[in-house]
Amino acid sequence: MSAVFPTVREVLALDPVRHGAPRVVAGDAGLDRPVRWVHVAEVPDIATLLGGGELVLTTGIGLPADDAGLRAFIGDLADVGVSGLVVELGRRYVSGAPRVMAAAAERRGLPLVELRRATPFVRITEAVHALIVDAQLTELRAAEEIHQRFTELSVEGADAAEVIRQAAELSGCPVVLENLSRQVLGYDPAGESAELLLDGWEQHSRRIRPAGRTAYEPDSGWLVTVVGARGQDWGRLLLRWPAGGDAPSARAGEPTVAPPTRLTILVERAASTLALGRLIRRDAEGLERQLHGTLLTALLDHSRPVDEVALRAKALGVALDRRHLVGVMVRQRADDPAGEGGPEAGPARLRDLSEAVGQALREAKLTALTSAVDDNSVGALLALPDPAAEDRALSAFAGALRRVRLDAGSGRTPSGADPSRGGGPGAVIVAAGSGVSSLREARRSLVEARQIAEAARRDRRDLPIFRLPHVGLAGLLHLLREEPRLQTFVERELGPLLEYDAKHPRERLLDTLRAYLEQGRNKSAGAAAAHLSRPAFYERLARIARILDVDLDSVEASLSLHVALLALEAVRAP
């Protein structure tokens, strides 16, 4: 069954048609065309009354007698996109359809079928139309199953991997979820080769540019819909139709076979379920932190009024009013073996780190709110008497934390990692935000500390405290790599060049632009870095300027492109 309609081949297998002893005399390559309706015609100018997809039945009594007229008749039917022509023999044509008619039909790829035995056309139309109605009912039931399945997934809070798996299972087609920078977030190959599906994905995806939020691109064979909610798009969901190969393209007047309506419904429902799930998980995370009732996470999430936080903190013996507040985050380094996988990478490791931070605060005689703020980090809000005490307090805390972790287990950290690995304070990152003078500004300091800790995870320098100047622009962009607005900026600045490279992979103009910018816009140095002759390098720069419509001699334009390149590297990073 093709889409919601039977094919010409399936119609020929129906009993009323088989009773007529059908024989295909031309255009057998088009037998898999869908039949949208059946139309009986005995006049030569019937094409003007058709809309495409009809199977035309005729006895031929009204058809032209001359060869030119028959060719024109076949040409008109092919131009309007009919599915096929069935001619009953016996009234006008006795031994068979005219050769000129068969030759014209073969040339245009139009199926031409002879019925060698008289058959009431009404029985054929009834049978085909019943088949079409049954197929449409089947399509409606499939659509209802899709709605029910994805409603259940939404209620259950299914993750993206499960939504993608269900979409692939219901469609029988490979499904890919990507972000705005064409990086794969999830996929299900539907039994096909994942390596072949994802090989060169970014370049392949950039060539898939259908019109509209949900559309099918026949050239690539991908059905695409945008994923997002609340006016914030963050990705695309792609389904390959048909599964297992390229979509059939139009040839010799043959219309392209589009995916059935149920698949369009499926990708749109799957996309809305993914968008809703992302919103629910964000809200659930905030709710979970509220339920845990920690004042620190309340400050981070704005889940409780600042006055209430101050009052409850005071009851706990932590005075936050009229204090200089500094947000601090402590987390494992990226290369610390204790911070990657295994049972020790879970709650036990985080509990050990929380205890070490608490003990270090006590040894340094510092007043602070402290708790685990996520699966990897322990946060603290230091309450200092005045700004002048900030540097001294942070140094005291970092030193105390190092000693605590060294003392635990005779030179081993509580999690079993060697504190000397990776530099820094005991294989952990200690990051501090900017000091603030009021509790209402405390969240800014805490968030800044968390971002610095994330950006510094792979930094090999042995710094007791990481502050914002230490992480630089690349670190900042790494923090923002999942932000759709950053991905949109990258696409706006570099999109045309990335699309050009996807179509011309040997030229690698992006690498040329990178060499030029990394060498401080020194063209000679850029040519050497790119291993190109100066004329070739200059010609490529001129081509880049045309593609991006920018002046590469402009400092401002080059700065924007350099930031976009750094952001692209951050987005592509695992």
Residue-wise pLDDT tens digits, 19-34:
989 999 999 989 988 8
Let me know the angle formed at the C-alpha of 433 by 431 and 436, rounded to the nearest 5 degrees: 150
Interstrand relation of 54-58 and 37-40 (parallel, antiparallel or unpaired): parallel
C-beta separation of 349 from 336 below 8 A: no
The whole-number pLDDT of residue 390 equals 95
The predicted pLDDT at position 517 comes to 93
Alpha-carbon gap, residue 316 to 64, rounded angstroms: 99
In DSSP terms, 466 is beta-bridged to 431
pLDDT at 413 (0 to 100)? 37
Pairing type for strands 112-115 and 84-88 reads parallel
Residue 286 confidence (pLDDT) = 37
Query: Which residues are bridge partners to 378 per DSSP?
Result: 330, 372
pLDDT at 354: 82
> Which residue ranges form the domains of the chain, and what is each CATH number?
8-128 (3.40.1390.20), 157-280 (3.30.450.40), 293-472 (3.30.70.270), 484-572 (no CATH)
Check residue 251 and give its pLDDT. 38
Q: Which residue has the tokens 């199926």?
A: 111
**Whether 112 contacts 25, CB under 8 Å:** yes
Around Cβ 87, how many Cβ atoms within 10 Å? 23
State the virtual CA torsion across 244, 245, 249, 252 in degrees, nearest 10.
-100
- Give the pLDDT of residue 435: 94
Q: What is the pLDDT of residue 343?
A: 43
Residue 464: is the preceding peptide bond cis (ω within 30°)? Answer: no
Could you say which residues of the chain have pLDDT below 50? 1-3, 245-255, 284-293, 337-345, 409-426
What pLDDT does 66 receive?
92
3-state secondary structure of 115: strand
Q: How far is the C-alpha of 113 from the C-alpha of 92, rounded, in Å? A: 15
Cβ atoms of 6 and 131 within 8 Å: the answer is: yes
Nearest residue to 479 via CA among 452, 439, 507:
452
Q: How far apart are CA 154 and CA 363, in angstroms?
A: 49
Give the Cα separation of 219 and 345 in Å (integer).
47
d(CA 132, CA 11) in angstroms, rounded, equals 10
Q: Is 57 exposed, middle or buried (0-12, 13-18, 19+ CB in 10 A)?
A: buried
- Whose tokens are 């490979």? That residue is 174
Q: What is the pLDDT of residues 288-321, one digit of tens each?
A: 333 333 588 778 877 778 887 888 777 667 888 8
Strands 232-240 and 222-229: antiparallel
Cα–Cα distances (Å) from 216 to 52, 194, 219, 414, in that order, read 20, 22, 9, 55
Which pLDDT score is estimated for 290? 39
Q: Where are the beta strands (DSSP E) in 122-161?
A: none
pLDDT computed for residue 201 by the predictor: 93
Say if residues 50 and 80 touch (Cβ distance below 8 Å). yes
What is the C-alpha to C-alpha distance for residues 124 and 535, in angstroms, rounded to an integer? 71
Would you state the pLDDT for residue 312?
A: 76
Q: What would the DSSP string read from start to end of 313-358?
A: HHHTT---TT-EEEEEEEEE-TT-GGGSSSGGGSHHHHHHHHHHHH
Residues in a beta bridge with 5: 2
pLDDT at 334: 64
pTM, two decimal places = 0.51
